[in-house]
Amino acid sequence: MKEPSRTATSLNKRRAPVPPSRPRHDAMLRPSILHALTGTLSTTARRHGAPSLFQPRLAAATAAAAAFTTSPSPLIKQMPARAKPPPDEELEEKFLRGSGPGGQKINKTSSAVQLKHLPTGIVLKCQATRSRTQNRKLVRELLAAKIDELENGAESRNAIVGDVKKKKADSKAKKARRKARKIEAEKAQKLEVAKAMDEAIEKADEAGKEVEVGDLQINKVVKANKGGVSPHKRRQGEKREKEIKAALALQAEEENVQDDADAAVSKWRWERSKVHL
């Protein structure tokens, strides 16, 4: 008999043992398995009249689910329920040929539905869709709303919904008007600022022109004094030159005083703001 080779022996030794066929502990802790076990044990306990061990956990889960409910908040105004259609005994129903665009499906089939409410005499016709079933449903809803308006008046669902929509539309229009007034005020303010800037630029241009005119007059007087003129005209030119220089000096002094006043006001405002801070 042949002995097994070293290679076969080493491979047999390296093989891992086969794990036993039983569920692992972590698999038993899965949420789906726990949920199934919870339901089974709770049902068994209720059947035998014994308290369930999982009731506190179920109560906590129910409370957590109730915290995330999708039902409307009680603070939101609830609309009245839609009126139910009257019974078929009070209705007279007819199927008519449709009219208008839609081709043969509309013009050659009786898909339009006409309802007459016998107690009130209200007659309605519906051709909203190409389906007779949907038109029957829609015309009954319209008839129920009409009867609700006739019986309840201002307290009907359509009246209340209309009031709510009107209030929303009025509020939206009011906000739009307020926004338009704000935009107009901003435009007017920008126009005033631009106008003030234009006036300041014009004043600066006028002041610059006056200075230029004064310089030209001085140059003319100086040239006249240098030329061969009579002493009388020379004295008049010197006098005129002194007057122009004095006027220019006075204007410069006034501008400096104004600048000093503006600087003093700015300094006072800065100190006042520091005191308030």
Q: What is the pLDDT of residues 130-141, one digit of tens each?
A: 888 999 999 999
85 with 143: CB under 8 angstroms? yes
How many other C-beta atoms lie within 10 A of the C-beta of residue 251? 14
212-237 residue pLDDT tens:
555 555 565 555 555 555 666 667 77
pLDDT at position 194: 83
Last residue of a domain, one of 100, 127, 155: 155
pLDDT tier, 70 (very low <50, low <70, confident <90, very high otherwise): low
Give the mean model confidence (pLDDT) for residues 107-135.
87
Q: What gap in Å lies between CA 105 and CA 96, rounded to an integer?
A: 13
pLDDT at position 259: 72
Distances (CA, A) of 80 to 83, 148, 163, 168, 241: 9, 11, 13, 18, 95
Count of domains for the chain:
2
- Assess if residue 231 is contained within a domain: yes
Give the mean model confidence (pLDDT) for residues 164-184.
92
184-193 residue pLDDT tens:
999 888 888 8
119 with 90: CB under 8 angstroms? yes
- Assess if residue 48 is contained within a domain: no
Give the mean model confidence (pLDDT) for residues 167-188.
92
| DSSP letters spanning 7-56 | HHHHHHHHSPPPPPSS--TTGGG-HHHHHHHHHHHHHHHHHTT---TTHH
Question: Is pTM beyond 0.85 here?
Answer: no
At 253, the amino acid letter reads: E
Among 55-59, 92-96, 251-255, name the one with the lowest average pLDDT. Answer: 55-59
Distances (CA, A) of 133 to 87, 94, 112, 185, 217: 17, 13, 10, 57, 101
- Assess if residue 218 is contained within a domain: yes
Domain shared by 123 and 173, yes or no: no
DSSP annotation of 5: P
pLDDT at position 263: 72
pLDDT at position 199: 81
Domain range for 113: 88-155
Higher pLDDT, 46 or 159: 159
Domain shared by 96 and 181, yes or no: no
Domain shared by 228 and 138, yes or no: no
- Assess if residue 93 is contained within a domain: yes
- Assess if residue 47 is contained within a domain: no
pLDDT greater than 90 at residue 177? yes
How many other C-beta atoms lie within 10 A of the C-beta of residue 69? 8
